Structure formats: structure tokens, C-alpha cells
Amino acid sequence: MLCPAFQPTDDAVMKSVYLATREATEKWSMPFRNWGIILNQFLTIYEKRVRL
């Protein structure tokens, strides 16, 4: 359990997401359904945090 005062930085979160995605993609055998819709939602919600 994390300390209540612990707040990860944006870079730490992005690195965690990147590493988790990289590991998961090794197991994927099919394209992710509706990825375009999901990506657009991420870009709308996290427009200042997501860089493509």
C-alpha cells in the first residue's frame, strides 16, 4: 500500500503505462478493438499530458 502523501510525477505515470503496454503488446495476437475511439478519449481527457 502506498503512503497517503505519495504523489507520482507525470513522468513516473507515463513510464509505468509505457512499460505495462510494452509488456502487454508482446502477448497480443489481434489489434485492440476501437483503439481510435479510445485514443481520442485519452487525448480529450488528458490533452496536456498525452504527447504523440
- Euclidean distance between CA atoms 28 and 42, whole angstroms: 21
pLDDT tens per residue across span 3-50: 667 777 888 888 998 999 888 888 777 777 888 898 889 888 888 877
By the 8 A CB rule, do 50 and 43 touch?
yes
**And the C-alpha cell for 44?**
480529450
Task: Label residue 47 exposed, middle or buried (CB < 10 Å: 0-12, 13-18, 19+).
Answer: exposed
* φ, ψ for residue 42, nearest 5 deg: -60, -45
Q: What integer pLDDT is reported at residue 37 of this predicted model?
A: 92
Cut 0.85: pTM above it: no
